[in-house]
Amino acid sequence: MVAGPAVAVRLLGPPELVVDGTPVVLPLGHRAAVLALLALHHPTGVGHPVIADGLWGPSPPTHAANAVQGHVSRLRKAGLAVERTGPQYRLTGDVHVDAAELDDLVAAGDAHLRAGRPAEAAERLRAALALFRGPVLAGLEDLPFAAVEIARLEGARAAAGRARIEADLRLGRYAAVLPELEALLDERPDDEGLLAMLMRALHGAGRHGDALAAYDRGRRRLVAEHGIAPSPALRALHQAMLDQTHRESPAPQQAPAVPRPRQTPHGPAVFVGRAAEVAELVELLAPGRPGGSAPIAAVDGPGGVGKTALAIQVADLLAPSFPDGVLFAALGGGDPDRAPGTEAVLGRFLTALGVATADVPADAESAAARYRTELAGRRVLVVLDDAPDAERVRPLLPVGGGCAALVTSRAPLALAEAVPVGLGLLPLDEAGELLRRVGRVAGAPDDAVVAVARACGRLPLALHIAGGRMANRPPAFAARLAELLADETRRLGELRLGDHDVRSSFAVSHRLLSPDEQRAFRLLSRWTGPTVPADLAAALLATPVPDAKAVLNRLVTARLLDEVEPGRYRFHDLLRLFGRELARTADAEGPSQEAALRRALHHVLDAAVTADAALSPGAPPAPGEPDRRGRDRAAALAWFEAELANLVAAAGLAADLPDPACAPVAWGLSDAAFRYLDFAKRWAEWTLICEHGVRAARRVGDAIGEATALNRLGCAYRERGRVPEARDCLERALDLARARAHVPLEMSVLNNLANTLQDAGLIAEAVAVHGEKLGLARRTGDRYNLAVALNNLGDIHLEDDDLDRARRMFAESRELFAELGELRALGMVLHNLGEVALRQGRAADAARLYRTGAERSREAGDAYSRAAGLVGLGHAHRALGDEPAARAAWCEAHPILAEIDPTEADEVAALAAGARSTRDEQAIQH
């Protein structure tokens, strides 16, 4: 049996279904909840009563059974294999559930920890924590089943985190776990287990006094706030540390003659997250390696991402490991007004190391040599913050193995001797925690805090500013701030507090760009899609793709743009707003900016039309249009999948821009993308694109454009089961097409309207509308639409089991398609004739018709229709008693369907397996 698709169900965050590595868009609500319940009860299965109780509670509605079955059916279409036995549902096939993996990893971590294998335990537990993508079952919190499952899975997260810290403590990673322990203890000050861990970490890091002080603070809090004394175990730990400190305390001696500088400035009062980066840097830099070269770490990241705060935090943790001091210099980055000269920095470092001011060499080369001499034999950590380039850094780097250096910069530095560490945005949960702790508003609504964190783009500088604005305000102010930040035109202005300003931080990087690069930054920011592929950037900038890539890569180096995959780029939300502010102030560029957007939009439409042509290779081009039918179907599907979000954005932008030349892009996309959207079942995106098309056409008063978009919108509504809305759209489109005497569009709308009426069970009305199209096609001599109408009418009669009438309709349609040379349509109508023959008991005729239809579909390049013909051919062979031939037909169809519709591929695989089993049984019997 051919294997089905690999399926992953992710519950440790918003529920997500991933089929063969591709996420499937699912509406949050009951369908996502059914997915979650199936996954939570995998592999044993779950009964309908449990699902109904989980969705509606103890009193489910009367339609509960049908609703559950409908959700299961939709999940099957999305690629999930669900088996039903009576009221029991069960996932089958290759299914991976992250919640089950979490349980396995936590259990394995605990087992390794009990067996004295902390390294293996830490590895498993880190893998467990990495599974979480945000709040568990996000979006389903209000459903009856969710509370218990959320509590269980969040409890597993907490347990895994705690066990991982214990493993790190046993491995001696004391400094690395300190930030996390301090944050956890702030949340749970009465947790003696956490307090004991913090004491052990501080003591192990050499901060014996801090460990004892932590005990004193915790003891006082337990007594004052909870009226309880520390447990005997905690008191014993404290006494053991106290005894060891007394034993190791050196005899009093004179203060050393050599100064021990500690130059790091105060970091932010609140430091949240970055546990992985802190651990990595501490491991890289501490302790020094006498006899070797000094370890150097280079942290790079965009402005405002928290590089300085991270450097100060790491320096503070490492200070005990560098008893001869910590040197710190702010190198000014790209701001010449703040950038000290190399000689000045060396002079400050030398005087801090005890060199008399008069003995500091005047020239940089001599000062650097004296600096290296003074560091020889010492253990000093050098922190160089906001470095503009490698040349400014090299004279300040230590060389002895007892020293180390930590460098931060916006752009990656060309320092071969340094280990690069990239710093990205905070995860959303850590961003929210930072807001709460800076703002000191524990009672603020979660949704408001999340909204503010999202508006800040999870950028630490913006989060600190927003938190500062929330400080000393009532909890309700968080919602007000979220409203203020929701307005993109004023968001950057709101993210300013005192001398902290997100806009100013971005301006430093922007000033380093050339005028052409600054213009490119402004133009690219006007694009509203989530990403900017290189070919789209080339259209915006009116330059060849290689030249556009060169500009894009320079923006990436300046940390004003991210390359999310080769040839595809993305703005941070706040940087995009910064670019748009600059674009608005560049008044002289107004016409050129509008022209750039017009070029980009028409580029997207042309690419969509080209890709669409590959999805209908048998359809001839419209009069006057180029023949684009040679493009590879797989490449077209991949292009649509990659660009879908950009297509939605392009349709919206085309509808919003005042330039009337852009508006046709919106309804053009509703037409060009419909085949892919229909095939991929992306109803939500299809609906959005069509709605933008309707809006654009109405804005410029283009009736045919409006009818075109309404026609496609009606199809989208129909596929989503919104039949009344679909009918309304199609009837309005029909009125517009008739008013403008646009007969081809009128016939297309009639076709879709009749299909919608058929879906609604209004068969007589559907037949009447198909009849209208039939009459119109006969009157105008449009043989193609005549053949389509006959085929659709035959389909209705086939559904009603009026096989003789269906056969007559299909036969006339076949003759017309054959005369026109429409191989694709001819293949489909031959398949319909094959089904009629099979139902009438004429299996040999059915086999001939299916075989011929599959061949016509192959000639037309219509893979899906060819596969459908092969499936029908298999059924005809089975009716003739030829199981090997049936299996051969189904095996031929399977790889075709596997690339197009995995659900149908699974069904065909099952047919082929059944045919083999039947053949084997017959062989045994004979």
- pTM to 2 decimals? 0.61
pLDDT of the residue at 664: 94
Could you tell me which residue, 206 or 368, shows the higher pLDDT?
A: 368
Out of 477, 503, 529, a domain closes at 503
- Is 348 part of any domain? yes
Residue 632 belongs to a domain: no
Least confident window among 192-201, 206-215, 630-639, 764-773: 630-639
- Cα separation, 845 vs 825, in Å, equals 20
- Measured distance CA(330)–CA(264) in Å, rounded: 10
C-alpha atoms less than 13 angstroms from C-alpha of 351 in its C-beta half-sphere: 10
pLDDT of residue 699: 93
User: Residue 79 contacts by C-beta under 8 Å, 6 or more apart in sequence?
Assistant: 5, 7, 17, 19, 20, 24, 902, 903
Classify residue 229: in a domain, yes or no. Answer: no
My answer on whether 836 and 924 are in the same domain is yes
318 and 448 housed in the same domain: no
Phi–psi pair at 420, nearest 5 degrees: -75, 140
Same domain, 391 and 449: no
Do 194 and 181 touch, CB atoms closer than 8 A? yes
Q: Does pLDDT of 652 surpass 90?
A: yes
Residue 40 placed within a domain:
no
Would the pLDDT of 921 be above 60?
A: no
| pLDDT (tens digit per residue) in 676-706 | 887 666 778 889 999 999 999 999 999 999 9
User: Is residue 375 one of the residues assigned to a domain?
Assistant: yes
Number of domains present in the structure of the chain: 3
429 three-class SS: helix
Q: How far apart are CA 708 and CA 736, in angstroms?
A: 9
Q: CATH number for the domain including 878?
A: 1.25.40.10
Among 445, 478, 503, residue at a domain's last position? 503
Span 203-262, pLDDT tens digits: 888 788 888 888 888 877 776 666 566 777 777 777 777 767 665 655 545 445 567 888
Q: Summarize the confidence of residues 670-681 as an average pLDDT.
A: 80
| Structural domain contains residue 703 | no
Q: Which residues constitute the domain of residue 886?
A: 822-926
Q: Do 409 and 442 belong together in one domain?
A: no
Whether 920 has a pLDDT exceeding 50, the answer reads no
Mean of per-residue pLDDT scores for the chain: 84
Please state the rounded mean pLDDT for residues 557-578: 86
Last residue of one domain, picked from the residues 503, 534, 550:
503
Residue 926 has pLDDT above 50, yes or no: no
367 and 459 in a single domain? The answer is no
Q: Are residues 877 and 842 in the same domain?
A: yes
403 & 436 share domain = no
Q: What tokens does 692 get?
A: 């933008």
- Per DSSP (E only), the strands in 399-528 are 404-409, 419-422, 496-497, 500-501
- Structure-block tokens of residue 614: 């590959």
User: Is residue 296 located within the same domain as residue 397?
Assistant: yes
For tokens 């646009």, what's the residue? 742
Above pLDDT 90, what percent of the chain?
A: 27
Residues 416 and 432 in one domain: no
* Whether residue 878 is found in the same domain as residue 913: yes
Q: Could you say which DSSP state residue 557 is in?
A: H
pLDDT of residue 28: 67
**pLDDT reading at 915 higher than 70:** no
DSSP 498-552: TTEEHHHHHHHHHHTS-HHHHHHHHHHHT--SS-EEHHHHHHHHTS-HHHHHHHH
> Are residues 286 and 410 located together in one domain of the fold?
yes
Q: How far apart are CA 907 and CA 888, in angstroms?
A: 15
- pLDDT at site 590: 65
**In the prediction, which pLDDT does 40 show?**
93
Confidence of residue 630 (pLDDT cuts 50, 70, 90): very low
Question: Is residue 347 located within the same domain as residue 443?
Answer: no
* Residues 783, 819: Cα–Cα separation, whole Å: 9
Q: Which residues contact 909 (CB under 8 A, 6 or more apart)?
A: 1, 2, 4, 890, 894
Domain of residue 411, CATH code: 3.40.50.300
pLDDT at 601: 94
Note whether residue 436 is domain-resident: yes
**Any domain includes 851:** yes
Alpha-carbon distance 605 to 623, whole Å? Answer: 18
Is it the case that residue 132 has pLDDT exceeding 70? yes
Averaging pLDDT over each range in 133-147, 246-260, 322-336, 577-591, which range is the top one?
133-147
Higher confidence at residue 470 or residue 246? 470
